[in-house]
Homo-oligomer: A and B are copies of this chain.
Amino acid sequence: MLHPRKRIEIVVEAVQAEAVTELLDRLGAPGWTILPVQAGRGRQGLRQGGDPGGVFDNVLVLCIASEAVAARVIEARDELLGARPAIVSVSDCGVLRAEHF
């Protein structure tokens, strides 16, 4: 049996990832996972990972949370967008363990 939750996916510059995860923590997210990004194209053109300092690298922050937490993230839109994410997307998912998310 699965329990309905929200899957929040945020692509953001690595140097801004902590601002995003701190916001998620503050809004009650049960956790998050950061995946490396290799390259991308967005509104500001091409972005290639692996530059010497890694400062222009993006990461993908994945957060599975309740609908209530997701609603708070969406309400915190202005603060979230302050981290200049390339993508903020939310989708439906189900999780095995209701008590974890």
| A74 engages B34 (CB within 8 Å) | no
| A41 engages B60 (CB within 8 Å) | no
How distant is the Cα of A25 from the Cα of B38 in the complex, in angstroms?
18
Q: A59 contacts the other chain (Cβ, under 8 Å)? A: yes
| Partner of A7 from B21, B64, B89 at Cβ < 8 Å | B89
| A96 engages B88 (CB within 8 Å) | yes
How distant is the Cα of A77 from the Cα of B60 in the complex, in angstroms?
27
Q: How large is the interface on A (under 10, 10 to 19, 20 to 34, 35 or more residues)?
A: 35 or more
Contacts of A7 in B (CB 8 A): 9, 89, 91
- Interface hits, A43-101 → B, CB 8 Å: 43, 58-60, 62, 64, 74, 77, 80-81, 86-97, 100
- What are 16 residue pairs bridging A and B, where the CB atoms are less than 8 Å apart in the complex? A2-B90, A7-B89, A11-B62, A30-B42, A31-B86, A33-B87, A34-B37, A34-B38, A35-B35, A35-B36, A38-B59, A43-B100, A88-B96, A89-B94, A89-B95, A91-B94
Interface, chain A (partner B; CB < 8 A):
1-2, 5, 7, 9, 11, 21, 25, 30-43, 58-60, 62, 64, 74, 77, 80-81, 86-97, 100
